[in-house]
Structure formats: C-alpha cells, structure tokens
Amino acid sequence: MSGPLSERLNKIMPRIVSDEFLSGSGIGNEIAFYIFDYPPEDELRVRDFLRTLHGWDVAAVYRDQGISGAKGEISALVSTA
C-alpha cells in the first residue's frame, strides 16, 4: 500500500496511543475517540489495515506510556462497524 491513504492509515496507531489521546486532554472530560474518514472505494483497504491493528498489544503500549491497569488488545480501541 502506498499513497495518501497509506500515509493516513500509518498515523492511526501513533494517534490513538499518544499521550494527548490517552489522557483525554483538551476534550473536557469526555471519552476520547478518533474518527477516520475515507472514500467508500477504499473500504477494503481500510478493513485490511484495521485487521493488522487488531493483533497489537494495547496493554504493552499503555505500559510504555506509563498508564497502569490497561488491559486488552487494539480491538478494544478500533471498531470496524
């Protein structure tokens, strides 16, 4: 995969594990969420990419960020619905 969509997809994980996102800073105590828009014709490419994210160990990422008590995998953070 290459091109603008790939560049955007590769920014998803860094964004959802960033200190700002995980701490909810700047959103007035609301639950943090990330919306990724894309053209309908790219649906299959996006789904394929999200499948690769589902295997990532979020608990390890959280520990690296200094957040305690985190459990689960990326599937807890990423919805394909």
Task: For 24-61, write each residue's pLDDT tens digit.
Answer: 776 676 777 778 899 999 999 988 888 777 666 666 66
The pLDDT of residue 34 is 78
Higher pLDDT, 22 or 29: 22
H/E segment holding residue 24: none
Q: Which residues contact 62 (CB under 8 A, 6 or more apart)?
A: 17, 22, 68, 70
Tokens of 75: 């599937």
Higher pLDDT, 1 or 52: 52
CB atoms within 10 A of CB 51: 12
The pLDDT of residue 71 is 47
CB atoms within 10 A of CB 21: 18
Amino acid identity of residue 75, one-letter, is S
pLDDT (tens digit per residue) in 58-79: 666 666 666 654 544 454 455 4
31 vs 25, 51, 55, 67, 69, CA distance in Å? Answer: 10, 24, 23, 16, 17
